[in-house]
Amino acid sequence: MTFARPVHQSILGSLSGIPSWITSTRAEAPEDVAFCSGAALNHLHLVLEREDVPQALLRDRLALRAAEACVAFSGRPERAAELRDAVHLLRPGDLPGPAGETCLEWRRAAERPLSVKALARALPGAEPGQIATWLDAGCGPPVTRAAMVLEAVQSDAPRAQAPALVLADAALTQALGWPHLVPLLAAGLKRADLRKRGCDLRLACHRGLIGSAVEAVRQAADLTRRAAHLKAVAPKLRAKGAGAAVEIFLTRDAVAPSALPLPDRAARRLCDRLVELGAVRELTGRDTFRLYGA
């Protein structure tokens, strides 16, 4: 699959302006589904090339969405709010629990440039050599390669659904030439899809990627607007360390005040000030143990 590169920014138009025929057409034939998924990935590819898109923040938000899907596949009840708590309210020495560990795997996989070494850090239960072998199991076009890697990992480790999906996204990312893993497949697949094999699994991956790529474009548009507003209000912040704090908000889905490079009280005041300015949102609805994000 070869992606066209824009010759001018105006070619993209609105970030969220993904062609309606991609989402409105109910493709049934395998070749039509594959065509639509390729078109959706092509549009996402162009969006990811834009300098104004907060790439790290987008990947972290998509990692949360992928983790939520994987936790649901395993039959656990945790959703986005609980996963954020499990990851961002950890104290030194605490264990994140199974759901929190799944979320951490996805976040670690998406935060560093893609490599076998980075994937091994993200997936502590997999050896680098085994990861390389699984990635080599895929060949052909990007989605076919991803489906083959997904099948290979699940055949060797049937209970490792989250690592299998991480590595499938890694294979897709490699094939598309993206520098960082972009979590897509998990959120687009259904639990029953993970039991499919061969052509049926490839078709499910194509179908799932249509919806997940469209959602990634929508998230990119939303986060780009929010990031622009956050950067615009940054000069109004007088707290020492406010600039570094803003950079953290531009890279993480959720932030606890304790993660900011300010004293506790100053960090909480800064978060409240950013909420007043409409630059970030309080994500929990609680009076204590709050989390904030763009």
pLDDT tens-digit profile of 180-232? 999 999 999 999 999 999 999 999 999 999 999 999 999 999 999 999 999 99
Pair (156, 125) in one structural domain: yes
Asked if 139 and 210 sit in the same domain, the reply is yes
In terms of domains, do 104 and 83 share one?
yes
Q: How many CB atoms lie within 10 A of CB 28?
A: 8
CA–CA gap between residue 34 and residue 122 (Å, rounded):
30
Same domain for 147 and 210, yes or no, is yes
Within a domain: residue 16? no
For Cα atoms 68, 88, 84, give the angle at the middle one, nearest 5 degrees: 25
20 phi and psi angles, rounded to 5 deg: -65, -25
| Of the residues 199, 224, 249, the one at which a domain ends | 224
Question: Are 111 and 181 within one domain?
Answer: yes
Note whether 58 and 185 are same-domain residues. Answer: yes
Q: What is the predicted pLDDT for the residue at 239?
A: 83
pLDDT the model gives residue 28: 79
Find the range with the poorest average confidence among 22-26, 97-101, 130-134, 286-290. 22-26
What are the φ/ψ torsions at residue 113 (nearest 5 degrees)? -55, 140
Are 169 and 201 within one domain? yes
Q: Which tens digit of pLDDT belongs to each residue from 219-238?
A: 999 999 999 999 999 999 98
Give the pLDDT confidence score for residue 289 in this predicted structure. 96
Residue 232 lies in a domain: no
Q: Are residues 149 and 247 in the same domain?
A: no
Range 130-139 average pLDDT = 97
What is the rounded average pLDDT of the residues 141-168? Answer: 97
Band the pLDDT of 15: cuts 50, 70, 90. Answer: low
Examine residue 229 and state whether it is found in any structural domain, yes or no: no
3-state secondary structure 31-49: HHHHHHHHHHHHHHHHHHC
With pLDDT > 70 as the criterion, what percentage of the chain qualifies? 94
Domain with residue 277: its CATH number is: 1.10.10
**Is residue 21 a part of any domain in this protein?**
no
pLDDT band, very low/low/confident/very high, at 16 (cuts 50, 70, 90): low
Assess whether 178 and 62 both reside in one domain.
yes
Across the range 163-184, mean pLDDT stands at 98
The confidence score (pLDDT) of residue 25 equals: 63
Q: Are 192 and 288 found together in one domain? A: no
* Domain of 39, in residue numbers: 30-224
Contact by Cβ (8 Å): 124, 158 = no
Residue 206 lies in a domain: yes
Structural domain includes residue 20: no
**Is this model's pTM higher than 0.85 or not?**
yes
Side chain identity at 123, as an amino acid letter? L
Buried b or exposed e, range 234-272, using 16+ CB within 10 angstroms:
beebeeeebeebbeebbbbbbbbbeebebeeebbbebbe
| Predicted confidence (pLDDT) per residue in 104-113, tens digit | 999 999 999 9
Of 191, 224, 257, which closes a domain? 224
**Residue given tokens 């990635």 in the structure block:** 135
pLDDT, greater one: 85 or 22: 85
206 and 127 both lie in a single domain: yes
Q: Domain ends where: 224, 252, 268?
A: 224
Q: What pLDDT digit, counting tens, does each position of 25-34 carry? A: 677 789 999 9
Residue 9 pLDDT grade (very low, low, confident, very high; cuts 50, 70, 90): very low
Q: Read off the pLDDT of each residue in 73-78 and give the average, rounded to a whole number.
A: 96
- What's residue 21's pLDDT? 81
Assigned domain for 3 exists: no
Core vs surface per residue 122-144: b (16+ CB within 10 A) or e: bbeebeeebbeebbebbeeebbb
pLDDT score of 20: 81
Q: What are the residue ranges of helices labelled H in the chain? A: 20-24, 30-48, 55-73, 80-88, 97-111, 116-122, 128-136, 142-156, 161-176, 185-188, 198-233, 242-249, 264-276
CA-based nearest residue to 165, from 140, 203, 134, 198: 134
In a domain? residue 24: no
Tally of domains within the chain: 2
Residue 255, pLDDT > 90, answer: yes
DSSP 15: T
Does pLDDT of 243 surpass 60?
yes
Q: At residue 4, what are phi and psi to the nearest 5 degrees? A: -75, 145
Residues 152 and 185 occupy one common structural domain: yes
Per-residue pLDDT, 219 = 96
